[in-house]
Amino acid sequence: MTARTDRSDRIHQLPELAALLRDADHVDVKQVVGHATLREFTARALGSPGRSGRALLRARTLLARALRLSEPVARFGPAVTPEQVPFEPGAPLSFFTVRDGREDDFLLLEASDRHLVAQLAIAVAPAGDATRFDVGTIVRYRDWRGPVYFNLIRPFHHAIVARMARAGARQPAQPRHGLELWVPRLILMTGAAHVLYAFAIPNEWAAIARDGFLGAIDGGSELDDARRRADLWFLLAGPAMLALGGLARATVRETGTLPAQLGSWLLLIGVPMTVIDPASGGWLLNALGIATLVAALRR
């Protein structure tokens, strides 16, 4: 994605936006390339913002309240489908109102408050076998609070609009099946098994607590120390595997595929384990790492 500072984008070329641009106090344009129609792009861009997007919106809302501004509440949701995106002036869309638009060409949305008026313009342009989407923000201040508020939320604004643009251009996740479905489950099951195993088998936790946690591993007999090291290993490895499994599952839900980096991490852990101790669980990590790489490269 790129941010434009010149006027070669379609936002500055559309005659329908000329008057708005001429009277604007702030204009910025971001560009993304994807394979989508204008309706599909808009529906995805105004869908769920994800956790990081919600955090940014909350921070912006808190700042608005601190300045005693009643800005519109950003109610994102996955309910809008491409077919439901309107182009008729006055039609509502998310927390915006449609001001102007033309099918497969551009869409102008507006959100206004007492301190400023903000327009979100989305225009399409050919980009080889794909489509370039120019996403412009046009802001006009109504009173002194407008520039104060906007300059304070400017970092949030750029991050939010950039995230919306990326979401609009991103291809929807494909249905999950096979390795994409089972690898995260197996990693999570492995992590849960490690945590349960640390407490379910005859363990040394009572003795470790009695001797004091600091230095307790090297305080007894050789057999006791080996058991205590095993308890500590299973207890620490479990949450690490749960974290990797949660990351894998979240990525699959977001993108429909497993990241190749995850397979590399699993092999980076599993191969040395197998070399140092062939009787360890490194073989399971290697199998999961290979399965992850196969799924990622296949997609």
Sheet holding 92-93, edge to edge: 2-4, 26-34, 130-141, 116-127, 106-112, 96-102, 92-93
The pTM of this model reads 0.58
pLDDT of 171 strictly over 80: no
pLDDT of 5 strictly over 50: no
Looking up tokens 């390795």 gives 179
Considering only 16-20, 30-34, 69-73, 149-153, which range has the smallest mean pLDDT?
69-73
CA distance 76 to 94: 6
Q: Residue 208 — very low, low, confident or very high, per pLDDT cuts 50/70/90?
A: low
Q: What are the structural domains of the chain? A: 2-169 (3.30.530), 179-298 (no CATH)
CA distance 191 to 168: 35
Q: For 263-278, what is each residue's pLDDT tens digit?
A: 998 999 889 989 988 8
